[in-house]
Chain A
């Protein structure tokens, strides 16, 4: 009985909100990005986070807004959309056990990544300034230029090239020995500026939240396309930050290719929620191409981008409430 109530009152609307909410908001996002309303990568990354947030916002606000009007076994206020409710109840019956398992999996993964972060630091320790003087001199000069606090650095003994930022409150830049050794000073400077960009934007935290939401919304395949677009724009926004800080787009493009060529090509990277310097080649060639073509650091309109963003959220929510 309790299970049936949970299914009808909570999981059924959640599944419908996720399925329809991501679809509506993703279509709207794609249209507005295509017509170049959001010109900067920073705003495009924010826009692609809407399909993750809208279903949850609509779900949790439906009671305070007195919009809980979807009755599977009663009269639906909008007769033409009753098929949505019926479909939702069928899906809820099938997906509920899987949804519960996915919530447990998402929590487990979040805890595991937190533990992995601690173990990483315990294994390698923080890098010593005297031992990695070249690295620290470049990072210190970048931090002074960006007016940010010097982050701590971990250097792994890995001979392949890896770079990422981890941690939430006190963020740490992780670099491999192979990367430091094989990049020249300009290239290393741009990689560090990129990682500094992730710290300034607090990407470790937002990425972990987005990965958590993605894992819970596993039953809509669309969410993986949204995640791909979000990750791509987030990396481009951080690339823009690195170029603004260093003024070296060609060195950065070369560093991206070098790191990609020297990456072990492991799928483990995808399991870690922290943003890695180079993910897969599909996104990488877009990133390199825009650097070569000078299509970076485009500033978004200060008024139209936030306005369009707010309208997009409101329209997505309104359409969702209209349907269910």
Chain B
């Protein structure tokens, strides 16, 4: 499966999809998953609001994502339109299964006992619920 190539470098200390992508790759994929079909210009304009970067950098990264089969590139007049080949949820599911399979292959006992421990932890369940609430309120503009 094509994902094993992406997950060759899993970074547990990072957050979200930055665990499996480069920082900019993760930001770009987030925008594309949100918008379904985009051009390099559209992604560049959105990223430019948050960070200083060159148009060509965005184009290079999007081409690289297309080469990895995560994006489909189609010609739209003078520009190319990019669409994701996999939905955000499906990608997350695939990342989880590949990482877990990799761990279970070599470290089945400690991996399983840790999963059981985490599932029974009320603290992390509660914090995950609170985090969702915080993100919704921040999206509405609360400080």
Contacts and interface: CB of A to CB of B under 8 A. Distances in A.
A210 interface: no
A160 B15 CA distance: 11
A248 B130 contact: no
A62 interface: no
Contacts, number: 55
A182 B14 contact: yes
A72 interface: no
How would you classify the secondary structure of chain B's contact residues: helix, strand, loop or mixed?
helix
A188 to B, nearest CB: 14
A133 to B, nearest CB: 13
B69 interface: no
A189 to B, nearest CB: 10
A258 interface: yes
Nearest to A281: B123
Q: Is the interface of A mostly helix, strand, loop or mixed?
A: helix
Given A160-B13, A182-B14, A281 B134 contact: no
A261 B134 contact: no
A250 interface: yes
Contacts of B121: 281
Q: Which of B13, B127, B135, B138 has the most CB of A within 10 A?
A: B13
A260 interface: yes
Contacts of A254: 131, 134-135, 138
A281 B143 contact: no
A260 B134 CA distance: 15
Nearest to A248: B143
Interface string B69-99: 0000000000000000000000000000000
A253 B138 CA distance: 10
Given A247-B143, A250-B138, A250-B143, A258 B15 contact: yes
A186 B143 contact: yes
A258 B131 CA distance: 9
B92 to A, nearest CB: 16
Interface in B16-40: 18
Nearest to A252: B143
Interface in B88-126: 121, 123-124, 126
A253 B129 CA distance: 12
Interface in A235-256: 246-251, 253-254
B134 A257 contact: yes
A262 B14 CA distance: 7
A178 B18 CA distance: 12
A288 B15 contact: no
B142 A289 contact: no
B127 A288 contact: yes
A186 B13 CA distance: 20
B134 A292 contact: yes
Contact of B130 (A160, A251, A261, A285): A285
A285 B123 contact: yes
A97 interface: no
A262 B130 contact: no
Interface string A265-293: 00000000000000001101100110010
B68 interface: no
A76 interface: no
Nearest to B141: A250
Nearest to A291: B134
A285 B127 CA distance: 6
Interface string B51-63: 0000000000000
Interface of B: 13-15, 18, 121, 123-124, 126-127, 130-131, 133-135, 137-138, 142-143
5 contacts: A178-B13, A182-B18, A246-B143, A257-B134, A285-B130
Interface of A: 159-161, 178, 182, 186, 246-251, 253-254, 257-258, 260-262, 281-282, 284-285, 288-289, 292
